[in-house]
Amino acid sequence: MKFTLSWLRDHLETSATADEICATLNRIGLEVEHVEQLGAQLAPFRTARILEAIQHPNADRLRVCKVDAGPDLGEVQVVCGAPNARAGIAVIFAPPGTYVPGSDITIKAGKIRGEASGGMLCSLRELGLGQETDGIAELPEDTLPGESYADFAGLDDTVIEIAVTPNRGDALAIYGIARDLAAAGIGELKPFLADTVEGTFECPISWSISYPEACPWVLGRTVRGVKNGPSPKWLRDKLESVGLRSISTLVDITNLFTIDLGRPLHVFDADRIKGNTLSLCRGGNETVRALDGKDYIVTAEDCVIADGAGVQSIAGIMGGSDTEVTDRTTDVFVECALFDPVRIALTGRRLGISSDARYRFERGVDQAMPVAALEAATRLIMDLCGGEASEVVSAGNQPHWQRDARLRFERISALGGLDIAPEEAVVILGHLGFETKLRDEHSVTVAVPSWRNDVAQPVVLDPAPTLSPEQCMVLESAVAHIEPECDLIEEILRIKGLDQVAPIPLPPVSTVPGVSMTPARTRVARVRRVLATRGLLETIGFSFIAHEEAAKFGDAPESLRLLNPIAADLDQMRPTPLPGLLAAVRRNTARGWPDLGLFEIGAGFAEDGQTTIVAGLRSGRTPRQPGGGGEVMTFMAARADATDVLTSLGVSSDALTITADAPKYYHPGRSGILRLGPKTVLAAFGELHPSLLQDAGFEVPVVAFEIFLDRISDPKKRRRTAPDFSALQPVRRDFAFLVRNDTPVDSVLRAARGAERALITGVSLFDIYEGSKLPDGQKSIGIEVTLQPESVSLTDAEIEKVSEKVVAAVAKATNAVLRS
């Protein structure tokens, strides 16, 4: 919000300096963002008078002028090329060293075509104050030489820009800022008085409202016989000082009231309105060309002003070009209305329109001012443009904005931390417009003014599932009592001075800061490190995917469907991060990078809650190396990834069992589940289902794993001892067993591992063979058993004895037969 010091003084009787006013604004919560002295860069320019102007001896278009630059500079010779440079006129003189903003040059003394020139005679354009002209600026005849041009032209004003919080719509008016400053003791507020303009004829245009939710009240009147044209200098100067471009007198008057009183208005060319009625109604998917020259489509959610020909204005935001006032306008219709802030904001966002009117309406305007503002605007139109006014026409009713707020004096100190006498608190509220209605020793009840839409607004709560309607009513009543009181305390504190409230630091929770790495974060960091060393790259994806994609990877219940998704294909909370990883692999494959591994640590969602999942994918082939490589990925790579992560998190590989009941989106014969005991599922791994890959456009298998972090218990903290390594060499023996095709490999491994726990330290799978050389319905499973002696080397007989135990244990557990 910008305003000038002189404009502020139109409403505030004060002798305070700009620095004092800025300090007070900061103290009362209207933070000053920028201060600019309008005449600062024009300080070197001086008024002067041309005493003599003769033709330059060496140039046809130049004149040599003798200039009286005032007592300080005396007579100066200046070479000037302006056609209107002549003796006797008062001009603007720039001495050497002056920066000319309009031309971006610095004046230097020198010679021009052999004649000395000690300065420059300037046009207003060169000072950055006007349009291009054919000559230098001519000042009034009675101008005295040597005066500062900034002072002479009244450009010694100060522009102040403040930041306004969304709840302070009243501070978007210079009058509202003056009111706050007066309450803070900076001068006295001048009353706003609007002379009533008696209508001399019946208004030919009437109002109707069919969308009262968006516009509850509207006023208007016709002013006929006006003459529109350029605005007077004082009006142009006011608007241009705060960054607004002067358009025409009628338009500038509406902009003046927007800034001055925070009261947006709009003027229609009455002769261009079709029919006798303007209607405030819903849009109907019509296209309207606004005053900014752009076309907008208004929907049934947008409030518009329409006549017999269609939409003529996007209500409360921007008028339409079809009824725009021009220099040919003779009759105008002035509109002054109240609009719902929320609907204004939604329409502005939907259409992408930013305007001064929208900015104020969506923050709330003075609900009691429309009548006075319409009268004041009518008077100014008639004063500047002439004409006569009709009677006022209206539709709807003024909203019931009247409400009270109660303040208990003891709460000022208890909540605000500042001791303020009750009498002083009441005086502050009175200066801000809060009229005392009832007062006793302990409290005061005040009437909230019409311009403070942010104070003591009624509270309506949506019933929560855990609250009964009666509980909601009790809660609303409590909030309705506390909220207004807090608003009043805030007003008193900021006017008294927020800088007077003593800062009190929060009590420290502990002198020793807490750990930055919790066990959960440490676990995640460890998982990242393990998967990175295994060659996988981490990704981060959305937590929501397409409903159809979610259904391919488990359940996609309606309870986890988004009501307002950011995109049509992101409408379901994901059951697992795998769909996002698969999409990333597909994109990389399409760009010529099919061989890669990705992982993500994120949430998976189900109806019973969410869980943290480590998901990974490998696609393509293994890296080619001399003598091998370049093979298609198998589910064993995914199993190795999952197993490595689990063991790094303290899960013993010996405690894991593998079952073949992986989710349906895995390959039914090339997948598995890693369990801890019979019930706890820690991970799933395997190839993705061929039909899933076919739909995604993959021609080679893709293997995946999922690890459910929340199901892994933290390892018990035990005192670590040095590992007891044996000095003897281990002994390894290979066994090949014939088993039924449906026999799990894990059953063979577990049986072999338990055959002789004192010596067997490792059992691993090295081969699975199924072929025509084997009996029907059987397969060969090759395992390697590692024996580790502790004190003495094993003899052949001891090794053979252990081997017999291994064969017997596997045969007992799986009905296996040692393959010959």
- Give pLDDT tens digits for 511-529: 777 777 888 888 999 999 9
CA 641 to chain CA centroid, nearest Å: 40
pLDDT of residue 157: 84
pLDDT digits (tens, 9 = 90+) for 455-490: 876 554 444 444 456 555 544 454 444 578 899 999
Most confident by average pLDDT, 510-519, 524-533, 688-697: 524-533
The values of phi and psi at residue 634, to 5°, are -115, 165
pLDDT of residue 819: 86
Closest residue by Cα to residue 65 from 124, 19, 112, 127: 112
- Average pLDDT on 71-76 reads 92
pLDDT of residue 463: 47
Q: By CB neighbour count within 10 A (0-12 exposed, 13-18 middle, 19+ buried), where does 746 fall?
A: middle
Q: Is the pLDDT of residue 207 over 70?
A: yes
pLDDT of residue 460: 47
Closest residue by Cα to residue 1 from 163, 219, 150: 163
- Average pLDDT on 746-754 reads 90
CB atoms within 10 A of CB 587: 10
* pLDDT band at residue 131 under the 50/70/90 scheme: low
Q: Are 792 and 731 in contact (CB under 8 A)?
A: no
When the pLDDT of each residue in the chain is averaged and rounded to a whole number, the result is 90
pLDDT digits (tens, 9 = 90+) for 218-252: 999 999 999 999 999 889 888 888 888 889 999 99
Location of structure tokens 């010529």: 592
pLDDT of residue 308: 92
Alpha-carbon distance of 294 to 288, in angstroms, equals 8
Q: Are 302 and 269 in contact (CB under 8 A)?
A: no
The more confident residue out of 723 and 347 is 347
Q: Are 274 and 307 in contact (CB under 8 A)?
A: yes
Alpha-carbon distance of 697 to 691, in angstroms, equals 10
CB atoms within 10 A of CB 621: 14
Domains defined for the chain, CATH in brackets? 2-38+157-189 (3.30.56.10), 40-152 (2.40.50.140), 206-396 (3.50.40.10), 405-500 (3.30.56.10), 519-711 (3.30.930.10), 731-818 (3.30.70.380)
Could you tell me which residues come within 8 angstroms of residue 401 by beta carbon, excluding any fewer than 6 positions away?
367, 368, 450, 453
Q: Is the dihedral of CA 373, 375, 380, 382 positive or negative?
A: positive
pLDDT of residue 397: 92
| Beta strands 537-538; 435-439: pairing state | unpaired
- DSSP lists the bridge partners of residue 111 as 116
- Average pLDDT on 75-95 reads 94
pLDDT of residue 447: 94
Orientation angle between helical segments 174-183 and 18-27, nearest 10 degrees: 80
pLDDT digits (tens, 9 = 90+) for 147-165: 998 888 877 788 999 999 9
pLDDT digits (tens, 9 = 90+) for 336-360: 999 999 999 999 999 999 999 999 9
For the ranges 30-39, 60-69, 322-331, 371-380, the lowest mean pLDDT is seen at 30-39
Q: Are 606 and 555 in contact (CB under 8 A)?
A: yes
Which SS3 state, helix, strand or coil, does residue 187 take?
coil
Alpha-carbon distance of 419 to 412, in angstroms, equals 7
* pLDDT band at residue 799 under the 50/70/90 scheme: very high
Which amino acid does the sequence have at 40?
A: A
Alpha-carbon distance of 145 to 121, in angstroms, equals 13
Q: What are the Cα distances from residue 802, in Å, to 754, 789, 808?
A: 11, 12, 10
Radius of gyration of the chain (CA): 42
Q: By percentage, how much of the chain surpasses pLDDT 90?
A: 69
* pLDDT band at residue 751 under the 50/70/90 scheme: very high
pLDDT digits (tens, 9 = 90+) for 550-580: 999 988 899 999 988 888 889 999 999 999 9
pLDDT of residue 499: 85
Could you tell me which residues come within 8 angstroms of residue 588 by beta carbon, excluding any fewer than 6 positions away?
594, 596
Location of structure tokens 């002054």: 336
| Beta strands 217-224; 388-389: pairing state | antiparallel
pLDDT digits (tens, 9 = 90+) for 606-633: 998 899 999 999 998 877 667 666 678 8
Q: What angle do CA 462, 464, 468 make, to 5 degrees?
A: 100
Binding residues for Mg(2+): 454, 487, 490-491
CA 680 to chain CA centroid, nearest Å: 44
pLDDT of residue 625: 66
Alpha-carbon distance of 253 to 41, in angstroms, equals 29
Query: Ramachandran region of residue 669, left (φ > 0), alpha (ψ -120 to 50) or beta?
Result: alpha
pLDDT digits (tens, 9 = 90+) for 358-369: 999 999 999 999
Q: Is the pLDDT of residue 540 over 50?
A: yes
- Average pLDDT on 633-660 reads 90
pLDDT of residue 719: 65
Q: Is the pLDDT of residue 749 over 50?
A: yes
pLDDT digits (tens, 9 = 90+) for 133-148: 679 999 988 899 999 9
Alpha-carbon distance of 157 to 483, in angstroms, equals 41
Binding residues: 454, 487, 490-491
Alpha-carbon distance of 745 to 725, in angstroms, equals 29
CB atoms within 10 A of CB 238: 23
Which SS3 state, helix, strand or coil, does residue 142 take?
coil
